[in-house]
Chains A and B, each alone.
Chain A
């Protein structure tokens, strides 16, 4: 069980190939960042993993000591495969060896069973829209609802949703015009309209109370919802959120709406991150394949005009003055080039604000371990 870094380990732990995103079936170990025998804290980087879509660092969920590295650099392994074993130094080597020998990776879920197993998204009716929704995990308390930002989709939560799903029921939606949801927009697309769409989706699922986690424009939508129906929101986590100030990188929004080819797309998407290596060829290709679908350019233009006309944010909301009863935390990457850090700094002292070093506009992807811990602890403190 993930402990959010608060406790001591007392057993042998398997470190296995994670599943990042919907389509990942295998990953390649690029290199280990800790050696056998080394101890580490929660959040320390253990190894680098490459998939067809993305390369990222695998962070330790809890503190431990690396006892055996099973997968060498260069190994290509399916999700769930054993990569290494961690155990306190007091555990004898023979026990570690037995654990390794006895380890059986879980069988990959067959494609036709995948939908039942909940590892494949399903559709939810929300008024005129059919929204794609990925549900993972179960647990006590209100479910976590993840809301992505402009031009993104539920895959933006690929490093967060699985981790938080270990203890909670989680749902990630694709907004109208995005991902696998209805592309053709009907009606207004401002914050309160999207909040109303969220309301309809939750109604269709019979969900009353939620923990909301919103990124960028999704943060603006989550904030709208929390101000509208505060009694339903157990907690609110705003990540690099819109609606907290006037400024936005208008060139990014324009560039994103206009981009059609790989070279220009790469330049635009690199503005999102601190480490440009995170924007690989496959990620660029995925975004372009989405943008080339009929209806998407029109949808994005309409949303950009509603939210970010002429390079400024249309709406500013105050998470402090309006509703003190909804516990709210703000998370921001220090190197954010899309929405200025100043919007977070203005809330220091009024609400918990966490500024993540070495991250740009996507701190939940670039420093997922840290962000997961912040969300996990916040939710635990606000049941």
Chain B
């Protein structure tokens, strides 16, 4: 089976879906790239190249470069979705959601509910999350916790190329608004990805690694760091069960709960900030529904409650590392009252 990067997998998902369904359009800043300038169009295909080639195949009616105006992009996309198109809108950096959040959380997320089921909003918003490139405080955040909190929005956080293609196709075929979070450091990460289109259901976690000692739940890039920690811990006889939820909304609660019922110990790894985030959400779920099984307190390994630093040495301390993850696992493993 061919190896593809996350970038290639996403590009393939978009191209295959756009061939299948003429109602699908792509809209955002530089999604074609170069529109309006002389000569080159499709110069970039997105700031990190995910939409490259789509303009050439599908044309300017379906691959739309916009001015720098997120509120207009999301407003237009939400309106297009309720009136019959299936837009895939790009929010270049998730950090910019503040500029257009009304369109997302008061409009798109609530149309179906407030119009009594008469409106469907098959909108996908693709956006970049994640720190680690010294992109500084306004270009490095991971606000999927905030998106997850909004009823009416679905939120997808893939960690590898196979999942990325299947989940994006699922998102495009879903009739509800979906925010699709792509970690900006992972676009080159390769995996075996089938050439054919395929889907992965939402609310179905991936068990990356089986283990009986400690359950670790991790998102996006943290799945890979937790995997590294798990390999190191296995050498010391501690077997981690590593779960990648893949979607934060809907969340596969059963897989997490079943795992903790068996291991009794939980560590959640999330590079987002700690207050009111996914790690906290999962910790509350487990404390509520699997309290009797717990043998140790639930540990959350997250960023600190500060903006993302620019300077590389501080940014490195900010992001949870495999060592920090392993330390947390050892702590819960060794805990006894």
Which residues on A are within 8 Å of B, measured CB to CB?
Answer: 183, 260-263, 281, 289, 292-295
Give the distance in Å from the alpha carbon of A209 to the alpha carbon of B166 in the complex: 43
Give the distance in Å from the alpha carbon of A262 to the alpha carbon of B166 in the complex: 16
Give the distance in Å from the alpha carbon of A298 to the alpha carbon of B194 in the complex: 18
Give 7 closest A-B pairs by Cβ, nearest first. Answer: A294-B197, A292-B198, A293-B198, A293-B196, A292-B199, A261-B204, A260-B201
In the bound complex, residues from chain A placing their C-beta under 8 Å from that of B255 are 262
Evaluate contact between B210 and A292: CB separation under 8 angstroms. no
- Can you offer 11 A-B residue contacts whose CB atoms are under 8 A? A260-B201, A261-B204, A262-B207, A281-B207, A289-B194, A292-B198, A293-B197, A293-B198, A294-B196, A294-B197, A294-B198
Which residues on B are within 8 Å of A, measured CB to CB?
Answer: 166, 194, 196-201, 204, 207, 210, 254-255
Known: A281-B207, A292-B166. A263 touches B196 (CB 8 A): no
Evaluate contact between B201 and A261: CB separation under 8 angstroms. yes
In the bound complex, residues from chain B placing their C-beta under 8 Å from that of A260 are 201
Give the distance in Å from the alpha carbon of A289 to the alpha carbon of B207 in the complex: 14
Give the distance in Å from the alpha carbon of A76 to the alpha carbon of B198 in the complex: 33
Evaluate contact between B204 and A292: CB separation under 8 angstroms. no
Please name the residue on chain B nearest to A262 by beta carbon.
B204
Evaluate contact between A293 and B201: CB separation under 8 angstroms. no
Please name the residue on chain B nearest to A292 by beta carbon.
B198
In the bound complex, residues from chain A placing their C-beta under 8 Å from that of B254 are 263
In the bound complex, residues from chain A placing their C-beta under 8 Å from that of B204 are 261-262
Please name the residue on chain B nearest to A280 by beta carbon.
B210
Evaluate contact between B196 and A183: CB separation under 8 angstroms. yes
CB distance from A54 to the nearest CB of B (A): 14
Please name the residue on chain B nearest to A180 by beta carbon.
B1
In the bound complex, residues from chain A placing their C-beta under 8 Å from that of B196 are 183, 293-295
Please name the residue on chain B nearest to A183 by beta carbon.
B196
Partner of B198 from A261, A262, A289 at Cβ < 8 Å: A289
In the bound complex, residues from chain A placing their C-beta under 8 Å from that of B194 are 289, 293
In the bound complex, residues from chain A placing their C-beta under 8 Å from that of B200 are 292
In the bound complex, residues from chain B placing their C-beta under 8 Å from that of A281 are 207, 210
In the bound complex, residues from chain A placing their C-beta under 8 Å from that of B197 are 293-294
Task: Give me 14 other A-B pairs in contact (C-beta within 8 A), A292-B200, A293-B194, A294-B196 excluded.
Answer: A183-B196, A260-B201, A262-B207, A281-B210, A289-B194, A289-B198, A292-B166, A292-B199, A293-B196, A293-B198, A294-B197, A294-B198, A294-B199, A295-B196
Give the distance in Å from the alpha carbon of A261 to the alpha carbon of B199 in the complex: 12
CB distance from A177 to the nearest CB of B (A): 12
In the bound complex, residues from chain B placing their C-beta under 8 Å from that of A289 are 194, 198
In the bound complex, residues from chain B placing their C-beta under 8 Å from that of A261 are 201, 204
CB distance from A285 to the nearest CB of B (A): 8
Please name the residue on chain A nearest to B195 by beta carbon.
A293
Give the distance in Å from the alpha carbon of A49 to the alpha carbon of B196 in the complex: 33
CB distance from A130 to the nearest CB of B (A): 13
Give the distance in Å from the alpha carbon of A262 to the alpha carbon of B199 in the complex: 14
Please name the residue on chain A nearest to B192 by beta carbon.
A23
Give the distance in Å from the alpha carbon of A292 to the alpha carbon of B206 in the complex: 15
Please name the residue on chain A nearest to B196 by beta carbon.
A293
Give the distance in Å from the alpha carbon of A262 to the alpha carbon of B200 in the complex: 11
In the bound complex, residues from chain B placing their C-beta under 8 Å from that of A263 are 254
Please name the residue on chain A nearest to B203 by beta carbon.
A261
CB distance from A226 to the nearest CB of B (A): 33
CB distance from B242 to the nearest CB of A (A): 12
Please name the residue on chain A nearest to B200 by beta carbon.
A292
Give the distance in Å from the alpha carbon of A260 to the alpha carbon of B204 in the complex: 10
In the bound complex, residues from chain B placing their C-beta under 8 Å from that of A262 are 204, 207, 255
CB distance from A203 to the nearest CB of B (A): 27
Give the distance in Å from the alpha carbon of A333 to the alpha carbon of B163 in the complex: 37
In the bound complex, residues from chain A placing their C-beta under 8 Å from that of B210 are 281
Give the distance in Å from the alpha carbon of A267 to the alpha carbon of B166 in the complex: 24
CB distance from A277 to the nearest CB of B (A): 13
CB distance from B198 to the nearest CB of A (A): 5
CB distance from A74 to the nearest CB of B (A): 11
Give the distance in Å from the alpha carbon of A290 to the alpha carbon of B255 in the complex: 21
Give the distance in Å from the alpha carbon of A210 to the alpha carbon of B197 in the complex: 36
CB distance from B116 to the nearest CB of A (A): 29
Give the distance in Å from the alpha carbon of A260 to the alpha carbon of B199 in the complex: 10
In the bound complex, residues from chain B placing their C-beta under 8 Å from that of A295 are 196
Most chain B beta-carbon neighbours within 10 Å: one of A260, A281, A293, A295: A293
In the bound complex, residues from chain B placing their C-beta under 8 Å from that of A294 are 196-199
